Amino acid sequence: MAQKLDLIDRKILAELQGDGRMTNVELASRVGISAPPCLRRVRVLEEAGLIRGYHADINPRELGFEVQVFAMVRLTSQAEADLATFEARCKAWPLVRECHMLNGEIDFILKCVAPDLSSFQNFLTEELLKAENVATVKTSLVIRCAKDAPGLPFDVLEARLTRS
């Protein structure tokens, strides 16, 4: 789909990625077109699945989620049905905020949040380690975050497209 996007579509995506709450009039002004075609383009981008949603960036610590942990999970079986079962289980765990299947020694990496260390430890020992098909779990507690950039680097995309 990326090849079918023109410069205006890419500008729309970049602008909305930076501020999903701006009005259509403001967005149209920023990308250099009038409001009605801008709104049509946004709807097409949404329908195509390029825009998956609009979200607020919530500060977890301000709401009492002091602990962030990455859990590296190795499964006993990597059969597709077993992978799908584990993924479904991850979706049901509220403390698991992201779940990525990996290539290599680790099958999944989970980004977890918890109000405190004892809450995470309870989740680890009572849920994750007891889950069917889990062989091992290694955890790393986040000390601090040096970078958390949402979205995509549109400047890199534009530079690549201008070289093509």
Vertex 33 angle, CA 29 and 39, to 5°:
90
Backbone angles phi, psi at 45, to 5 degrees: -65, -35
Q: For the chain, which domains are there?
A: 2-56 (1.10.10.10), 61-141 (3.30.70.920)
d(CA 124, CA 71): 9
Confidence of residue 150 (pLDDT cuts 50, 70, 90): confident
159 or 88, higher pLDDT: 88
- Longest CA–CA separation in the chain, Å: 56
d(CA 117, CA 78): 30
Query: Of 24, 64, 60, 17, which is closest to residue 42 (Cα–Cα)?
Result: 24
Residue 60 burial by Cβ neighbours in a 10 Å radius (0-12, 13-18, 19+): middle
Burial 87-110 (b: 16+ CB within 10 A, else e): eebbeeeebbeebeeeeeebbbbb
Residue 149 has pLDDT above 70, yes or no: yes
Q: What is the pTM of this model?
A: 0.86
CB 30 within 8 A of CB 37: no
Q: How much is the mean pLDDT over the chain? A: 95
What confidence score (pLDDT) does residue 2 get?
A: 46
Q: Which of 65-74, 75-84, 102-111, 151-160 has the lowest mean pLDDT?
A: 151-160
